[in-house]
Amino acid sequence: MKKKADTLKLSAKLYGASILERLRAMDWQQGSSAPLIIELDPTEHCNLACLGCVSEDLIANKQSFSNARLMELGHEFIAAGVKGVVLIGGGEPLAHPKVGELITLLGEHGIHIGLTTNGTLIHKYLTPIARYVNWTRVSMDAGCDATFKRLRPAVGGASHFHKIVENMRLLAKEKTGRLGYSFLIRTEADGFNITSNIDDLYPAACLAKEIGCDYFEVKPSNRYYGGVDHYLVVHSKENMARATQEIERLMELESDTFVILRSVNLNYSLAGLSKHEQPKDYHSCPVADLRTLISPSGVYVCPYFRGRESMRVGSVVDKSLQDMWRGEQRQQVMKELDPSIHCGMHCIRHESNLALFDMQRKLAVGETLQANDSEDPFI
C-alpha cells in the first residue's frame, strides 16, 4: 500500500506537558493572562511582488516596529511566559534590521522560534537562525526559475530563485532546527493571470530533498473575497485530480530524513470544497485566547483577520503586551467574536477548537488529561 503524506496534527500539540500545565491552570471565564504563541510581523516591507499576495494592502502601508520597540517586545514576551514566537508577515520578517538580535534574545531565553520567510535574506542572519530557530519554512511555490519568476518576482521583476536555493543550502549545513520547502498550489482559478504550477510539484520536492530540507509541505491557495473574507480558492476538478496524482508521486521521495507534509486544509482544496463547507456550531474561539497576531498595524484575533479593523484587539506600538491583552478593546472583540458567524473560512485551527472544548469539559468534571510526548508548543 502506498504511503500517504502526513497531515499536520495541530490539535495533538495541546496535550504536550507544558501546554497542558498552562491549560489546567487557566480560568476560561476570565481568559488567559497572556498568549502562549505569538505570530509576529516585525515589518510590513517586502522585497518580492508575488501575484495575488494576500497581504498586498498591508505591504502598501510599509509600516515597521521601530528597532527599540521590537526589542522591547521581545523582553515583554519573555516576561509574559510566551512559549513560542512565529516570525512571519505581513511583509518579509527578515527585512527588519533588528530581527537577528530578536532571534538571539528569544532563543537565549528558551522561547521556541518559528520562521516563515521568502528566503532571500537568510544569509544575513544565518548564524542566529541556524542556532536558535526551531523551524524555518521557505515559501517557494516552484521547482524552477521560470515558474518562480512568474509567481514570485522581485519588486523590480527579477527572480531570486537561485539565490534562495543557495541560502537554503547554507542553512541546511548549519541548522539545528528543521528546514522546510513550502509549495502553495496555484492555478488559473487564483486569478491575477496566474497559470498552474502543478507540474512543478515533483521537481520542487526533488530539489528540496537535494538541498537538505527536512520536509516538503504542500498547501492550498487562499484569497480575500471582496477584500474581507479569507477563503480557499476552488480550483477545477481536472487540476485537483492532477495535483492529487502528483502528491501521491511525491511519496517515493520520503526517507528517514525527509518527509512530505500536507497542510491541514489541503484535502478540502483537493476535494474542491467551497468556502461554506466547514460549519462551526460554536460561539467562541478558545484558540484566540492562546494565540494572537501582532503587527505594526495592530494586534488581531488571528492571521485570517490580519488588517480587518473589526477584529483588531489593540496595538503594541505604544502600549505594552500586557496592557493590550487586558485592555477593553480586546475584551470587547473577544466577547463579540462568534465563529459560527464570523469564521466562514476553512480555519486550520477548527479541530484545535473542538479539542479545547472537549478538554474544558473534562477538566470541569475532574477528568484527568493525559499528556503526550509532544514538545512542540506551536499549537
CA distances for 165 relative to 28, 116, 147, 297, 308, angstroms = 45, 15, 14, 31, 34
Residue 1 has pLDDT above 70, yes or no: no
Residue 266 structural domain: 6-364
**Is there a domain that residue 376 lies in?**
no
Strand 112-117 versus strand 84-87 pairing type: parallel
- A 10 A CB-CB count for 205 gives 28
| pLDDT average, residue stretch 117-130 | 98
**Is there a domain that residue 378 lies in?**
no
**Is there a domain that residue 377 lies in?**
no
**Is there a domain that residue 370 lies in?**
no
Residue 205 has pLDDT above 90, yes or no: yes
- What span, in angstroms and rounded, lies between the C-alpha atoms of 336 and 310? 10
43's grid cell: 515589518
- Residue-wise pLDDT tens digits, 60-108: 778 999 999 999 999 999 999 999 999 998 899 999 999 999 999 999 9
**Is there a domain that residue 30 lies in?**
yes
pLDDT for the residue numbered 274: 63
Residue 257 has pLDDT above 50, yes or no: yes
User: How many structural domains does the chain have?
Assistant: 1
**Is there a domain that residue 234 lies in?**
yes
- Residue-wise pLDDT tens digits, 294-347: 999 999 999 999 888 999 999 999 999 999 999 999 999 999 999 999 998 889
| pLDDT average, residue stretch 266-279 | 79
Residue 28 has pLDDT above 90, yes or no: no
Confidence of residue 30 (pLDDT cuts 50, 70, 90): confident
**Is there a domain that residue 148 lies in?**
yes
Q: What's 163's domain CATH number?
A: 3.20.20.70
Find the distance separating the first CA and the last CA of the chain, reported in whole Å.
31
Q: What is the pTM of this model?
A: 0.94
* Cell 504542500 sits on residue: 218
60's grid cell: 502598501
**Is there a domain that residue 75 lies in?**
yes
pLDDT for the residue numbered 351: 93
| pLDDT average, residue stretch 181-187 | 97
| pLDDT average, residue stretch 11-40 | 91
